[in-house]
Structure 1
Amino acid sequence: MSIKLTNVTLYTGKGDKLENTAIIIEGNTVKAVGEEAVRLPARTVIDGTGKTIIPGMFDMHVHLGMDGVGDPFSQIDGDSPAISAYRHHVNAQKQLKSGVTSVRNLGSRWHIDLEYRNSIADGLMTGPTVYGSGQAIVMTGGHGYPFSTEADGEDGVRKAARETLKAGADVIKLMATGGVMTPGVDPGSPQLSEREMRAAVEEALNAGKTSAAHAQGTEGIKNAVRAGITTIEHGIFLDDETIGLMIKHGTVLVPTLAAPYYIVQNAESGGIPPHAVKKAVDCFHTHRTSFRKAMDAGVRIAAGTDAGTPFNAHGDFAKELELMHEYGLNVRDIITAATFNAAKVLNADPTVGALEEGKMADFVILDEDPEKEIGAFRKVQAVYKGGVCVHEHTGKLEAIVGS
């Protein structure tokens, strides 16, 4: 059965904006968009006057096993595998309702994200498409070590990567530097070496998979880029040399601007460990400057929040997009960062990430146009995944059957 939404504004995800246009969905795929969709008939026609349609969005850095409490590491430590699995599902539903139809989960204890991914793919439950890393790989005592796989030396890291791929990981997550949340480590200090990371990246590539590096300090970022990493997560301390290196290697930046923002905004809450507050405050302004420099230089950006970190709630993807806009990225590029760029990072762009003929019908209906009001990303009227409405607010669109 074909469904046409007419009189809408539509962003393709590839930088194009179509106004007073249409899209036709047939089964689980997009049949037509733009002038062709306006021209072609459909069994059901829905008047979408005033609505804006964008592709289903990707949050490229989430932790489904973390709720955004002040001390998420303590929460993880106290969870049983069963409770963690339930937590993954609840948080994934929040993502879906916000218009995020795909998430890249970058670190879950016991590889629970991989089993949760499988449960959705097998139809046991509805949720966003999950691309999972399982447990991250860190040096002994490295950032996030309490819920990661510790490994040292090229052989040790290579073996850990192979074991993680054996468990079914879609992406290998590595810790290239220290981080904010782990006590006793400096966000600016390198951790896994270039050679260690290259060993893991080689294994990921051999298996047809991608890689991601938590990388905040300059030297650690350069190590990860030279090692062939697919994405740099956070990228707090970027200089001109590092940015040039990223452009040369085609490395994508996932800035996670919301993560330090929410720690700084809630620094006086008393719920966040003092060491994390201090490090986030020290990094905050540099992070913003680095993002702007990378953006101006033409580094490819994919949107991710680090959802699950302190006060950084699942379902608040819009905040990352608002911060990108505040720091200078235009709305069409923001949408591309949250859709097509993200899909391309995951090698999923042949089937998702844009609204065009033949691609999966993952899309979001907004009540307003984000080019007119950046807050429109919060005004989700409906979310469709594979042509099926998986979330709808009150006030259904009017359908004209048999047009």
Structure 2
Amino acid sequence: MSLKIKNVTIYTGRGDKLIQSAIIVEANKIIAVGEEAVDKEAETVIDGQGKTIVPGFFDMHIHLGMDGIADPFSQIATDSQATSAYRHQANGKKQLQSGVTSVRNLGSKWHIDLAYRDAVNNGIVTGPTVYGSGQPIVMTGGHGYPLASEADGEDEVRKMARQTLKQGADVLKLMATGGVMTPGVDPGSPQLSESEMRTAVEEALHAGKTTASHAQGTVGIQNAVRAGITTIEHGIFLDDETIELMIKHDTVLVPTLAAPYYIVQNADSGAIPPHAVKKAMYCYEVHKESFRKAVAAGVKIAAGTDAGTPFNLHGDFAKELELMHEGGMSIRDIITAATFSAASVLTVQNETGSLEKDKIADFIILSEDPEDKLSAFRSVETVYQGGEVVHVY
């Protein structure tokens, strides 16, 4: 049965904005959009006057096994595999209800994100489309080691990359630097070397997969970019040389501005580990300035929140979009970063990520136009996944 939603504003995800337009879906696909849809009949018609439709969002950096409590590593240390699996489902549902129809999970102990992905794909549970990394690959004692696979030297990293791909990973996650949450490591300090990361990149490419690197310090970011990493996560300390290198290598930045924001905003709670507060306070302003410079220079951006880190809750994707706007991105560029650009990073842009004919019908209806009011990203009324309503507010 075909469904037409008419008299709506549509952001296609490719930079276009259609006024008083329409979209028609049938089964799980878009069969018409824009002028073609306005002129075409459908079996069911909904008048969406005053509403705005955007593609389903992609959150390109989340941790489904973490709830956003003040000390998420304590949660990882005490959860059983079964508890973690339930947590993945609960947090995935929150993502879907907020309009995030696809997620890239970048780190789950026991590779549980991959099992959760399969459960969603097989219809066992309802959740967003999941692209998972399984356990990240880190140096011994490296950032995130409580939920990661430790490896040292090119041979060990290569073997671990192959083992992670064997588990079914869609993307390999590597740690190029230290980070905020892990005690005893410096966010600016390099960890896995350029040559170590390059071996993992090679294995990912051989398997037709992509890569992501946690990279906060300048040297580590440059190592990751030269190694051929697909996306730089966080990118806190970006200088002009590093930005030029990213543009040269066509490297995408996933800024995760919400992660340090929420630690800084809740620094006085007394609940966040002191080492994390100290490091986040040090990085916060630098991170914002690095993002502004990257946007101004034309670095490719894909939206991601790092949801699951302290006070950074699943289902609050809108905060990242708001912070990106504060950092100099236009509304249309933000929508593209959260939809088509994200799908392109995952190499699924021909199937999803924009509102175009023959693509999967993942989209959300907003009660307001985000170009009129930034808070419109929070005014999600209905979430469609594969042409079916999966959530109504």
TM-score by length of 2: 1.00
Q: By how many angstroms is 1:75 displaced?
A: 0.6
1:270-321 C-alpha deviation (Å, 9 max, x unpaired): 1100000000000000000000000000000000000000000000000000
Q: Which residue is equivalent to 1:399?
A: none
Within 1, Cα distance between the matches of 2:332 and 2:109? 36
Within 2, Cα distance between the matches of 1:21 and 1:116? 37
Within 1, Cα distance between the matches of 2:9 and 2:145? 46
Q: Which residue is equivalent to 2:3?
A: 3
Q: Which residue is equivalent to 1:235?
A: 235
Q: Which residue is equivalent to 1:226?
A: 226
Q: Which residue is equivalent to 2:189?
A: 189
Within a 5 Å distance, the mapping from 1:134-173 to structure 2 comes to: 134-173=134-173
Q: By how many angstroms is 1:224 displaced?
A: 0.2
Q: Which residue is equivalent to 2:179?
A: 179
Within 1, Cα distance between the matches of 2:129 and 2:155? 32
SS in 1 for 2:313: coil
Aligned letter for 1:82?
Answer: A
Within 1, Cα distance between the matches of 2:106 and 2:112? 11
Within 2, Cα distance between the matches of 1:298 and 1:178? 26
Residue 55 (structure 1) aligned with residue 55 (structure 2) = yes
Q: Which residue is equivalent to 1:342?
A: 342
Q: Which residue is equivalent to 1:107?
A: 107
Aligned letter for 1:84?
Answer: S
Within a 5 Å distance, the mapping from 1:70-85 to structure 2 comes to: 70-85=70-85
Aligned letter for 1:137?
Answer: I
SS in 2 for 1:285: helix
Aligned letter for 2:232?
Answer: I
Within 1, Cα distance between the matches of 2:71 and 2:44? 49
SS in 1 for 2:267: coil
Q: By how many angstroms is 1:326 displaced?
A: 1.2
Q: Which residue is equivalent to 1:32?
A: 32
Aligned letter for 1:346?
Answer: L
SS in 2 for 1:192: coil
Within a 5 Å distance, the mapping from 1:106-125 to structure 2 comes to: 106-125=106-125
1:330-357 C-alpha deviation (Å, 9 max, x unpaired): 0000000000000000001010000000
Q: Which residue is equivalent to 1:401?
A: none
Q: By how many angstroms is 1:327 displaced?
A: 1.4
1:3-59 C-alpha deviation (Å, 9 max, x unpaired): 100000000000000010000011110011111100011111100001000000000
SS in 1 for 2:162: helix
Aligned letter for 2:13?
Answer: G
1:129-169 C-alpha deviation (Å, 9 max, x unpaired): 00000000000000011110000000000000000000000
Within 2, Cα distance between the matches of 1:40 and 1:14? 22
Within a 5 Å distance, the mapping from 1:291-306 to structure 2 comes to: 291-306=291-306
Within 2, Cα distance between the matches of 1:125 and 1:216? 35
Q: Which residue is equivalent to 1:370?
A: 370
Aligned letter for 2:125?
Answer: M
Within 2, Cα distance between the matches of 1:334 and 1:242? 22
Aligned letter for 1:62?
Answer: I
Aligned letter for 2:188?
Answer: G
Within 2, Cα distance between the matches of 1:379 and 1:261? 22
SS in 2 for 1:372: coil
Q: By how many angstroms is 1:125 displaced?
A: 1.0
Within 1, Cα distance between the matches of 2:367 and 2:155? 53
Within 1, Cα distance between the matches of 2:296 and 2:327? 11
Within 2, Cα distance between the matches of 1:127 and 1:348? 18
Q: Which residue is equivalent to 1:382?
A: 382
Q: By how many angstroms is 1:328 displaced?
A: 1.1
How many residues align structurally? Answer: 393
SS in 1 for 2:90: helix
1:47-75 C-alpha deviation (Å, 9 max, x unpaired): 00010000000000000000000000011
Residue 277 (structure 1) aligned with residue 277 (structure 2) = yes
Q: What percent of counterpart residues are identical?
A: 74
Within 2, Cα distance between the matches of 1:179 and 1:76? 17
Within 2, Cα distance between the matches of 1:93 and 1:146? 25
Within 2, Cα distance between the matches of 1:218 and 1:3? 50
Within 1, Cα distance between the matches of 2:302 and 2:147? 25
Aligned letter for 2:295?
Answer: M
Within 2, Cα distance between the matches of 1:349 and 1:153? 35
Within 2, Cα distance between the matches of 1:249 and 1:4? 42
Q: By how many angstroms is 1:383 displaced?
A: 0.3
Within 1, Cα distance between the matches of 2:36 and 2:194? 50
Q: Which residue is equivalent to 2:317?
A: 317
SS in 2 for 1:113: helix
SS in 2 for 1:173: strand
Within 1, Cα distance between the matches of 2:256 and 2:130? 18
SS in 2 for 1:268: helix
Write out the 4+ residue segments of structure 1 that deviate beyond 3 Å after TM superposition: none
CA RMSD of aligned residues (A): 0.4
